[in-house]
A = this chain, B = another copy of it.
Amino acid sequence: MSELIATSAAASLRKEDLHASLSDPVLDTMNFLNEITFRYPKAISFAPGRPYDGFFDTGQIFTHIRRYLDHLAGRGSSAEQIRAAMFQYGPAAGLIRELISSSLREDENIDVPAESIVVTVGCQEAMLLALRALIAGPDDVLLVSSPCYVGITGAASLLDVTVVAVEEREDGFRCADLDLAIGLARARGHRPRAFYVVPDHSNPAGTTMPVETRGELLDLAARHDILIVEDSPYRMVSPGPHLPALKSLDRQRRVIHLGSFAKTAFPGARVGFAVADQTVTDAAGHAGLLADELAKIKSMVTVNTPALSQAVIAGILLACDGRISEQNTRQAAYYARAMRSTLRQLDLCFPARKRGALGVHWNEPDGGFFLTMRVPFRADNAALSRSAENFGVIWTPMSYFYPHGGGDYSLRLSVSYLSEEDITNGITRLASFIEAEAKKEGELK
C-alpha cells in the first residue's frame, strides 16, 4: 500500500476535518460486521438482509428491457423517441410513474396519480429526498420508531438532521409513546416534522403494526400536524393476506409512502420511489405537489434515475400486469419457509424450560426477513467475534439499530439468504454459543 504513505508534500486530510456523518459509529460497526464476514468465510451468517438470488437469471435482464422497449413501441413511440428515452437524460421524477401508480392500485389499494410519484435510485435516495424537503432548519426534527433501519438514520446524519427515537415496547410501537415524544420535542423548542416507520415486518425488529394502531397513528399525525414516512419493502415478499398499508388508509394525505423494488424484483437495478401527494402552497398561493419538490431535490442528487434501471423494472411490472404480489408468490413462500424453519429450530434448540432458565426469547414474525432475539449477555462486537470464531455463526448486534443507545442484549437474525440446511446448522451453532456465553455469565456472577 505504498500509495497510502503520504510524502511531506502530499495533501493529507484529518478525519476530524471531514463531515461528522463519517464518524458515525454505525458506519464503523457496519464495517466491523463486514470484516467479520470476510474473516470467517465459513461461518453461517444470519447478518445480511439481502434477498435470495436463486430466483434470478441473467437472461431475464434482456427479456425485461426488451419487453419495455416493445411496450413503448406498442404505445406508438417512434424508434427515435425510444432511443432518446433510453439514452438521454430523462425527467427527474422518472419515466415509469404510470406503471408504478397502477401497480400500487393493483397490489396495495393505494390510489394516487402518477404525478405524485418520484422514481428514485433505490429507496435510500427516496429517504434522503423526503428528509431534505421536510427538514428546513436546525429546530426541525425527525421522529423514528426505534430500533430503526440504519438507512434513515444514515440519511439524517448526512443532512445533520436531529433524530428523536420513539422506542418500541416488547409488543411493538405504541402511539402514546409517539404522542409523548412529540410533546417533549415541542417543549424543547423543536418542530417535529415527520415520523418514520416500517409498519410491516420491520428491519431490524421484525415487528408488524396492528391495524388498530395504524388508524390511531393516522389520527395522531393529523392531530399533531406531522407527516408519516412509511417504508414498506418487505410486504410483497411476505405471505398474505397483508394488513392495509398506512398509505391505503390515508384520507388526509399525511403519509409519504416509500417503495422499493430491491426485495421484490431486482436489487441491482436500484429502483425505489416516493409517493408524495401532499399539497405545497407557496407565498403567492400557488399550489403544487410535494412530489414536484422532491423531484427538484433529486435533480441536485442524481439528476434522474438511470433509464436502464427503470426499463428493467418496467419490464417486470408489465410481465405481471403490475401485480408484484402475485409475481412474488414463490419468493414469499420461500422466505416464509425460511422463517418457519428458523423458528422451528429455535424451538428445538431452546425448549420452554431451557428458554426460561437461560432468559432467552425471540419474536415470531409471520413474514419479512428478520427476527430479534433477547440473550442473557451483551450481544456486542466482542461477543460477535467469539461467535464467529468459536462457533462459526454470525448475527447482527441489535445495538447497531438504536439511535440513542439500547438493544445491548439483543441480536438480529436475518433468514432471507440461507438454505434450510444452513438455517438448521446455524441455529444449532447459535444455541451452543448462547449456552456457552450464558454459562460464562453464570460463572462470573
Contacts and interface: CB of A to CB of B under 8 A. Distances in A.
A51 to B, nearest CB: 8
A109 interface: no
Contacts of A189: none
A15 B19 CA distance: 28
Given A277-B3, A296-B27, A306 B268 contact: yes
B281 A87 contact: no
Interface in A5-24: 6-7, 9-22
B13 A125 contact: no
Contacts of A211: none
Contacts of A7: 252
A253 to B, nearest CB: 5
A361 B270 CA distance: 47
Nearest to A262: B89
Interface string A132-172: 11111000000000000001001101111000000000000
Given A22-B296, A65-B62, A300-B128, A88 B10 contact: no
Contact of A267 (B6, B13, B88): B88
A332 interface: no
Contacts of A262: 89
Q: Please classify how large the interface on chain A is, using the bins under 10, 10 to 19, 20 to 34, 35 or more.
A: 35 or more
A254 B11 contact: yes
Interface string A260-300: 00100011111100000111111100011110010011011
Interface stretch (A78-86, A178-186, A234-242): A78-86
A21 B128 CA distance: 14
Contact of A268 (B282, B287, B302, B307): B307
B132 A282 contact: no
Interface stretch (A116-124, A352-360, A368-376, A427-435): A116-124
B225 A11 contact: yes
A333 interface: no
B308 A267 contact: no
A268 B19 contact: no
A308 B155 contact: no
Given A61-B308, A306-B269, A53 B84 contact: yes
Contact of A308 (B11, B27, B113, B268): B268
Contact of A279 (B6, B301, B302): B6
Copies in the complex: 2
Contact of A6 (B62, B287, B309): B287
A245 B151 CA distance: 36
B21 A300 contact: yes
A12 B279 contact: yes
A101 interface: no
A4 B289 contact: yes
Contact of A19 (B10, B133, B158, B287): B133
A302 B122 contact: yes
A288 B154 CA distance: 21
A268 B125 contact: no
A227 B289 CA distance: 39
Contacts of A155: 300-301
B89 A50 contact: yes
A122 B309 CA distance: 14
A283 to B, nearest CB: 6
A149 to B, nearest CB: 12
A296 B53 CA distance: 25
Sort A-B residue pairs by CB-CB distance and give the 10 closest, nearest first. Answer: A268-B307, A154-B300, A15-B282, A56-B87, A121-B302, A270-B306, A306-B309, A6-B279, A13-B280, A158-B300
Interface of A: 3-4, 6-7, 9-22, 27, 50-51, 53, 56-58, 61-62, 65-66, 69, 79, 82-90, 113, 115-116, 121-122, 124-125, 128, 132-136, 151, 154-155, 157-160, 222, 225, 227, 251-254, 262, 266-271, 277-283, 287-290, 293, 296-297, 299-309, 312
Given A11-B225, A11-B253, 4 more contacts: A14-B282, A61-B65, A308-B308, A309-B309
5 contacts: A3-B113, A10-B278, A11-B279, A12-B279, A128-B300
